[in-house]
């Protein structure tokens, strides 16, 4: 199992959290997504390391940006 953390900017509400969770959850290999609205944190758990570019693309598809 692998875990990666990211910082997401632009989220302001529960709908934002749901959009990011749905898009990142669809990335192949992802088994869990935890989004912290207050801190902008995104934790992705997967069976093996997930392609960071795929996670970034999923967050952007949801309408937000990964920083750092």
Q: Using one digit for the tens of pLDDT, what is the confidence trace for 15-58?
A: 999 999 999 999 999 999 999 999 999 999 999 999 999 999 99
17 Cβ neighbours under 8 A, 6+ residues apart: 11, 35, 37
Residue 13 belongs to what domain range? Answer: 2-67
Number of separate domains in the chain: 1
Query: Do 44 and 24 meet the contact criterion of CB atoms below 8 Å apart?
Result: yes
Write the CATH number for 26: 3.30.70.100
45: DSSP letter: E
Q: What are the angstrom distances between the C-alpha of 47 and each of 6, 30, 31, 37?
A: 17, 7, 7, 24
Contact (Cβ atoms closer than 8 angstroms) between residue 50 and residue 29: yes
Q: Global pTM?
A: 0.94
């Amino acid at each position: 199992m692998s875990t990666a953390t990211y910082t997401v900017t632009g989220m302001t509400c529960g709908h934002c959290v749901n959009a990011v969770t749905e898009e990142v959850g669809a990335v192949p290999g992802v088994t869990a997504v935890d989004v912290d609205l207050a801190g902008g944190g995104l934790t992705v758990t997967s069976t093996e390391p997930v392609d960071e570019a795929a996670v970034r693309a999923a967050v952007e598809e949801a309408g937000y940006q990964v920083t750092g």
